[in-house]
Amino acid sequence: KAGVTQTPRYLIKTRGQQVTLSCSPISGHRSVSWYQQTPGQGLQFLFEYFSETQRNKGNFPGRFSGRQFSNSRSEMNVSTLELGDSALYLCASSLGPTSSADTQYFGPGTRLTVL
Amino acid sequence: DQQVKQNSPSLSVQEGRISILNCDYTNSMFDYFLWYKKYPAEGPTFLISISSIKDKNEDGRFTVFLNKSAKHLSLHIVPSQPGDSAVYFCAATFPGNNRKLIWGLGTSLAVNP
């Protein structure tokens, strides 16, 4: 069974631009969660989607948004990029919603650099 | 406010010896704890978990101990192998936050041959 895939793996943008990251979960998984990883803050939860609905949201500004499609693939969008948005963005999939405590399986991440 | 703390950023151990990674938490509502391992250029992979109703869970070379009164858990790797060299993350969750994972900052383990 293929694992979680994320595209692109690396991205360089400039301040003020917007970016869209993509995540394809493991086949059969319906929940996708997004995390931001930075050296000083560790992994910070962004949001979770289950069956195309956002179920959970972390403490990030509205510039961070996401969506999930009927095939469970998910995208996250960051608008008006800031230097501080430079981070590794990780996507995790699980069978059920995070409230079910199903194991989360992570993709390799997208490394975003904002110049 | 770091609710899950891994106070040792790094740890170096000789191959064959025991590795002990520590994690402290502040939120007494946490009832489920997980350890993830992360290699460079890969996402974290689930290693082992423990529910607050237990004080020990074992899986092969990996054992997690939970001390609820001290709000402390530890991961023991015995014997340590060079392939165990990675960053280890402790995470915690509870029903009240829809089981969002709250993560520590990680401990980088180096197992030397």
Helix, strand, or coil here: A95? coil
- Mean pLDDT, rounded, for A96-115: 89
* Chain A residues with CB within 8 Å of chain B CB: 4, 41-45, 48, 55-56, 58, 90-92, 97-101, 103-109
**What digits encode the pLDDT tens for the residues B63-100?**
999 999 999 999 999 999 999 999 999 999 988 877 88
**Triad A41, B13, B23: Cα angle to 5°:** 35
**What digits encode the pLDDT tens for the residues A46-99?**
999 999 999 989 999 999 999 999 999 999 999 999 999 999 999 999 988 877
- How high is the pLDDT of residue A54? 92
The model's confidence at residue A1, banded by pLDDT at 50, 70 and 90, is: low
Average pLDDT, chain B: 94
What gap in Å lies between CA A109 and CA A21, rounded to an integer?
10
Tokens for B7, please give them. 């106070």
Q: Which residues of A touch B95 (CB under 8 A)?
A: 99
- Mean pLDDT, rounded, for A19-28: 97
What gap in Å lies between CA B78 and CA A88, rounded to an integer?
31
What gap in Å lies between CA A81 and CA A97, rounded to an integer?
29
Extract the runs of DSSP E, i.e. beta strands, from A1-115: 5-7, 10-13, 19-24, 31-38, 42-50, 53-57, 64-68, 74-78, 87-94, 105-106, 110-114
- How high is the pLDDT of residue A39? 80
Contact A105 B98 (CB under 8 A): no
Q: Are A95 and A29 within 8 A, CB to CB?
A: yes
Instruction: Give the HSE-up count for residue B85: Cα atoms under 13 Å, Cβ half-sphere.
Output: 12
Which is nearest to A49 in space by CA: A28, A26, A65? A65
Residue B54: how many other CB atoms lie within 10 Å: 13
Q: Which residues of B touch A104 (CB under 8 A)?
A: 46, 101
Average pLDDT, chain A: 93
Query: What type of residue sits at position B64?
Result: V
- How high is the pLDDT of residue B98? 77
| DSSP-derived secondary structure letter, A99 | G
Q: Are A65 and A55 within 8 A, CB to CB?
A: no
- How high is the pLDDT of residue A56? 87
Contact B101 A4 (CB under 8 A): no
